[in-house]
Amino acid sequence: MSIPGIPVSQLSHEEVLVTQDIARLRIHVERAIRRIKENKLFDNVIPLAIAGSINQLFAVACPLANYQNKPLVKAWVK
């Protein structure tokens, strides 16, 4: 992940474009993470007996989040 520091002077045109691209993509990543967190799999307490399977639960939640509601970005709709 690239996080620009606080510059002493103005950013160059290329740096501004890169920063805008990163910000644009970060919004979509945050939306995807929110969809995964809102999944019903994680609403209840996960018993310690299946805590070792949390990676598998997460791996199931990710594709499910992709199929719920509508696409994150309208431009990605075919």
Q: Over the Cα atoms of the chain, what is R_g?
A: 18
Q: Which domain holds residue 20?
A: 14-68
Residue 74 lies inside a defined structural domain of this protein: no
- Is the pLDDT score of 77 beyond 60? no
Q: For the chain, how many structural domains are there in total?
A: 1
Residue 52 lies inside a defined structural domain of this protein: yes
Q: Compute the CA torsion angle 49, 54, 59, 61 (nearest 10 deg).
A: 90
Tell me which of 17 and 69 has the higher pLDDT: 17
User: In angstroms, what CA-CA distances link 42 with 19, 30, 37, 62?
Assistant: 33, 17, 7, 12
**Strand segments (E) across the chain:** none
- Is the pLDDT score of 38 beyond 60? yes
Q: What is the pTM of this model?
A: 0.57
State the average pLDDT over residues 7-29: 85
Q: Which amino acid is at 21?
A: D
Residue 28 lies inside a defined structural domain of this protein: yes
- 40-66 pLDDT, tens digit per residue, is 777 788 888 888 888 888 888 888 887
